[in-house]
Structure 1
Amino acid sequence: MTRHLRPHHPPSPTPAGQADPAPGADPGRTSEIDTLGIDTLGIDTQEIAAQHRDHVLQSWSVSGGPVHTITRAEGIWLWDETGRRIADMSSLMVCANLGHGHPRIAEAIAEQARRFCFMSPAFATEPKSRWPRAWSPWPGGSTSPG
């Protein structure tokens, strides 16, 4: 599927009572992915919550409860549809342990995605093959203490 991306043009100043955009937000970031029909910056949070409630199987949370739509994230912080700031304490979700939106991490993800975004465990890749040795606590980069 080809995704047609359109650059985001920042809106005029935030109306009173609404949350400010994330500090340091990139004004050139994508605001809409046409083929999915999602406008990521001007989202209808009630519609997103309804779609989530009706179509997403919950694995670690209570199904049928209130749905909070997260509209942005930066560092350890999440913001919901009301503009409320929430600390992201989802320690089991290891993909964001270093926080959200860090420029170096975002660039590393983008660079890897340009090469390939996923590879079967059956194939060797540079990142998958080098990281275990680099992070091994045992001498010589062994994957076991023996």
Structure 2
Amino acid sequence: MKERFLFFALCMVAAWPAPAEIYKFVDENGRVTYTNIPRKGAIKLDIGGAEAPARNRNHAGPGNFPKVDAKTQRQRDDLRRQILEDELASEQRALAEARRALQEGEAAHLPEEAGNPQKTQERLKRLREAVALHERNIAALRRELGLAR
């Protein structure tokens, strides 16, 4: 128990943010270098804490950014959803075909592969990879459809 506490305390200390000192150095050719290593002639910069800039959440973009009315956006969303559903149906058909080809490939022994099990394994590997690809595509399309609803 004591070891766990000690480990936890060490992790907390290691995660403690360290203040960074930044120096600006300008060489004889006018090149500016920023570094955390102090050197003669460098100026220490006071940058304060590393904070993210404040965002105005009510502001969606620049003033001249084109606005889309709700009806147009809804039409775009519906079109996107329809495209995703069409792609999903296409991938499902391709998956069924790939599975059928894999089943047939596992049952079939091609004459050119006779005596060479390596060729059979390579052919079956390609068929399995095709099935896996279509399964991943279907999962990705379902995720996108879940976000689009």
Bin the TM-score by the shorter chain. under 0.3
Which structure is higher in strand share?
1
Which structure is higher in helix share?
2
Higher Cα radius of gyration = 2
